[in-house]
Amino acid sequence: MSTNILIADDHGIVRAGIKTILKDHIATDNVHEAASETEVITLVKSNFYDALLLDINMPGTDFASLMQWLTTTTPDTAVIIFSMYTEDIYGKRCLQLGAKGFLHKTASDTEIVHAFRKVLNGEHYINTALRKILQERETEEQSQNPFDNLSSRELEIARLIQKGHRLPEICGILNIQYSTANTYKRRIFEKLNVPTAVALSHLMQTFQISS
């Protein structure tokens, strides 16, 4: 039986590179591509995929909602998260939301192939960096990272605030309404118990949350 794989990334050159790697090392002739959350949903509705490589940084993607939809709609599809952000930011959250693996965008060809082979074999792919993070957080519950309490969208907006973006700019970047962005900002400040953007930036530096 042929293995069906979906690569979701908004950069065509990235999709082409991953597709070449997989066709050279994984027994599959069916590698489809998606450039947006909408395309992912459309393709998943009409095809079954054994594995999905999902870039959570695609513009307009509500990562948490998409993962919930995927795990409900196609629970047998092994999702590997593909991100420009490091394991300490999204690794644990991705696994909690149902992903079977996490790859940083600097991953080597060998690591990408290894990750796909693991998840296609019904296993989780947890690299050394993520395993270390999970072990440390398991043994240090008393010093829990407050950013773990933020949703993926809230964390994304917190990063933009730390970079100095004002709400109107954030609205343009994420294609959301001003009222929505303002609600997210208020929730972020409440959850982290910070009064200002400066205080938020200091807290992010304390917990080594890079922008």
CA 46 → CA 2, 3, 8, 10, 198, distances in Å? 17, 16, 15, 20, 47
Cα 141 from Cα 87, distance rounded (Å):
18
Of 3.30.1650.10, 3.40.640.10, 3.40.50.2300, 3.30.56.10, which CATH number belongs to 4-137?
A: 3.40.50.2300
**So what's the pLDDT on residue 142?**
45
> Based on the number of CB atoms within 10 Å of its own CB, is 193 exposed (0-12), middle (13-18) or buried (19 or more)?
exposed
Residue 81 sits at φ, ψ, to 5 deg, of -80, 135
Note down pLDDT in tens along the chain; length 211 residues. 679 999 999 999 999 999 999 999 998 879 999 999 999 999 999 999 999 999 988 988 888 899 999 999 999 999 999 988 877 777 778 888 899 999 989 999 999 999 999 999 999 998 877 777 666 666 555 457 888 889 989 999 999 999 999 999 999 999 999 999 999 999 999 999 899 999 899 888 878 887 6
Cα 198 from Cα 19, distance rounded (Å):
43
pTM: 0.65
Cα 5 from Cα 44, distance rounded (Å):
11
Please say whether the beta carbons of 99 and 79 come within 8 A: yes
Please say whether the beta carbons of 162 and 188 come within 8 A: no
**So what's the pLDDT on residue 210?**
72
Domain assignments of the chain as residue spans, ordered by start = 4-137, 145-206
Please say whether the beta carbons of 125 and 91 come within 8 A: no
> Could you name the CATH architecture of 145-206?
Orthogonal Bundle (1.10)
**171-187 as b/e: b if 16+ CB within 10 A:** beebebeeeebeebbeb
